């Protein structure tokens, strides 16, 4: 057992978890001159998975960090985001992503998640962040003027601030809040394949396409300059609904997508079948800051992925925290400790409400996507009536990240499903 201090001495901030949330936060705080140490449980830094959509509220931050050009060189800027009915393939609504970039000032990008993670890893290295592996954090505690973590090997590390960015199954969340994850009974299959494998599948290579259908949806977009093609197949697992342990298996995948349109049907055999991701979130909570321990990213607000904002929110969290630290540090008298508590209170005051909105909307969005029968037709009528250039549904999320609650934009007004009369002209349905 090693109980001694680590060679680099006491950091200003310990970040637990080296995922996209942890690394981006470590980088943001190090830009403010703080000495940051990241403790990651895995033997190496890396990301498993396939593509990630990052909206303008994230690319705006990448730009400020000086990382947008690198991200652009590795990612793809799609032309449109198109939503189609998964059964008959009919277009329901679209975002013109070139116009969206004009509106918000920054692009909508898709990027391999390991590429985005590697961008932050390199940025952290350049900034002198101390990146440690094989560091399994098992406990958190507040101390006088700071907080400490206990590692599985018995070591204790302390700092004025501990950021718990340890993901959906966060130990900090368990210790501080004690709530449980919520199963949606939906499961995701992913596949990032060479474009060659899908070129005859009638895919829209320059778009993000989302096929929405009864108890299923299917997402497609190009990756890595169009050399690769990303697919995500999501469905409700009958075994999960029946309370079986072994749910979301490949036989369920095939059955769930039976009867889908041709493009979707052709995409299903390409999905990776050796791993799948069961979809969990948590109920929103109001308290993320406990003394000098702050929850961040999925540890604070794991969403269902339907808004494609989970990683984006984590990156925003780190940006907001660093901005508030900069503010209190600038206000601190020479030689005095900055008002960390003030910075943490400001972080919590603005991020809790925003992330609650995303988590709640993601759940509602998932329900809308997966409707069947008459409700499916009502949804299609409402979506079909939306003007491509109506940004009323995106301004609250894609605009600049708020630093204070009064900067948070108003939410959109949901359109009741039963306000759509199926069969009426689409333009009258909204
Ligand atoms: C199918 C799917 C599609 C998605 N698509 C999008 C999308 O398009 N856009 C988007 O923005 N988001 C998307 N998301 C959500 C996004 O992936 C997550 O919200 C995001 O990765 C969360 O990052 P994080 O750093 O908070 O947590 P994680 O990525 O889970 O990282 C947590 C880190 O902490 C480490 N750790 C855990 N416990 C400990 C411990 N005890 N000690 C030390 N280290 C520990 C882990 O090893 C890990 O490295 C999607 C999610 C899914 C499942």
Helix (H) or strand (E) holding 383: helix 373-385
Q: Output the residue whose Cα is nearest ligand 1's atom 50.
A: 305
- β-pairing, 137-143 vs 146-151, is antiparallel
Tell me if 420 sits within 8 A of 382, measured CB to CB.
Answer: yes
The verdict on residue 401 lying in a domain is no
Return the pLDDT at 8.
63
Domain contains 272? yes
Does some domain include residue 238?
A: yes
Give the residue ranges of the chain where pLDDT is below 50.
Answer: 1-7, 425-430
To the nearest 10°, report the CA torsion of 262, 265, 270, 276. Answer: 140
For residue 227, is it within any domain? yes
pTM of the predicted model as reported, rounded to 2 decimal places = 0.95
The answer to whether the beta carbons of residues 401 and 319 sit under 8 Å apart is: yes
Reduced to 3 states, what is the DSSP secondary structure of residue 52? strand
**Ligand 1 atom closest to residue 53's alpha carbon, by position in its atom list:** 8
* Euclidean distance between CA atoms 182 and 192, whole angstroms: 27
Instruction: Indicate the top mutation candidate among 14, 18, 19 to test ligand 1's pocket, ranked by most ligand atoms within 8 A of CB.
Output: 19
Expressed in angstroms and rounded, the spacing between residue 169 Cα and the centre of ligand 1 is 10
Sign of CA dihedral 362, 364, 368, 373: positive
Place of tokens 């990382």: 67
Is residue 69 situated within a structural domain? no
Structure token digits, residue 112: 């391999």
Domain that holds residue 218: 182-281
Which residue's CA is minimally distant from atom 1 of ligand 1?
188
Per-residue pLDDT tens over the stretch 86-125: 999 999 999 999 999 999 999 999 999 999 999 999 999 9
Please tell me the total number of residues recorded for the chain in this structure.
430
Q: Left (φ > 0), alpha (ψ -120 to 50) or beta: where does 6 sit?
A: beta
* Ligand 1 in reach of 146 Cβ (< 6 A): no
pLDDT at 424: 52
In this structure, is residue 166 part of a structural domain?
Answer: no
- CATH number for the domain harbouring residue 239: 3.30.9.30
Residue 312 in contact with ligand 1 by CB distance below 6 A: yes
- Ligand 1 centroid, distance to 181 Cα (angstroms): 14
**Residues in a beta bridge with 280:** 183
* Separation CA 10–CA 109 (nearest Å): 38
Which residue owns the Cα nearest ligand 1 atom 4? Answer: 305
pLDDT given for residue 413 in this prediction: 87
Please indicate whether residue 362, judged by its CB atom, sits closer than 6 Å to ligand 1. Answer: no
Query: Is residue 291 included in any domain, yes or no?
Result: no
**Which pLDDT score is estimated for 427?**
43
- State how many domains the chain has: 1
Q: What pLDDT, in 10s, does the model give residues 171-189?
A: 999 999 999 999 999 999 9
């Amino acid at each position: 057992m090693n109980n001694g201090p680590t060679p680099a001495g006491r950091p200003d901030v310990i970040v637990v978890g080296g995922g996209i949330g942890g690394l981006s936060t470590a980088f943001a705080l190090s830009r403010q001159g703080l000495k940051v140490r990241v403790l990651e449980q895995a033997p190496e830094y890396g990301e498993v998975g396939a593509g990630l959509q990052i909206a303008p509220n994230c690319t705006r931050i990448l730009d400020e960090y000086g990382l947008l050009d690198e991200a652009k060189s590795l990612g793809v800027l799609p032309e449109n985001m198109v939503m189609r009915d998964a059964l008959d393939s009919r277009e329901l609504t679209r975002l013109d992503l070139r116009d969206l970039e004009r509106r918000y000032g920054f692009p909508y990008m898709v990027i391999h998640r390991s590429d985005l993670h590697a961008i932050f890893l390199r940025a952290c290295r350049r900034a002198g962040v101390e990146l440690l592996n094989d560091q399994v954090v098992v406990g958190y505690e507040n101390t006088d003027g700071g907080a400490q973590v206990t590692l599985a090997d018995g070591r204790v590390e302390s700092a004025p601030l501990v950021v718990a960015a340890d993901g959906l199954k966060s130990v900090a969340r368990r210790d501080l809040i004690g709530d449980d994850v919520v199963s949606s009974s939906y499961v995701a299959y992913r596949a990032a394949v060479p474009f060659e494998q899908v070129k005859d599948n009638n895919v829209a290579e320059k778009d993000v396409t989302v096929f929405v259908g009864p108890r299923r949806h299917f997402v497609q977009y190009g990756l890595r300059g169009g050399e690769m093609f990303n697919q995500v197949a999501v469905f409700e697992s009958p075994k999960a609904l029946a309370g079986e342990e072994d749910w979301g298996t490949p036989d369920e995948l095939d059955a769930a997508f039976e009867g889908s349109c041709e493009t979707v049907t052709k995409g299903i055999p390409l999905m990776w079948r050796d791993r799948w991701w069961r979809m969990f979130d948590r109920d929103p909570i109001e308290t993320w800051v406990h003394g000098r321990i702050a929850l961040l990213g999925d540890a604070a607000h794991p969403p269902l992925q339907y808004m494609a904002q989970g990683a984006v929110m984590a990156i925003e969290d780190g940006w907001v925290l660093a901005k508030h630290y900069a503010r209190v540090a600038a206000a601190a008298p020479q030689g005095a400790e900055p008002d960390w508590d003030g910075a943490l209170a400001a972080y919590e005051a603005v991020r809790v409400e925003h992330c609650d909105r995303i988590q709640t909307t993601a759940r509602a969005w998932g329900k809308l996507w997966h409707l069947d029968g008459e409700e499916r037709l009502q949804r299609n009528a409402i979506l079909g009536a939306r003007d491509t250039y109506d940004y009323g549904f995106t301004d609250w999320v894609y605009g600049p990240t708020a630093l204070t609650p009064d900067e948070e934009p108003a939410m959109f007004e949901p359109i009741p499903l039963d306000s759509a009369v199926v069969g009426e002209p689409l333009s009258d349905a909204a």
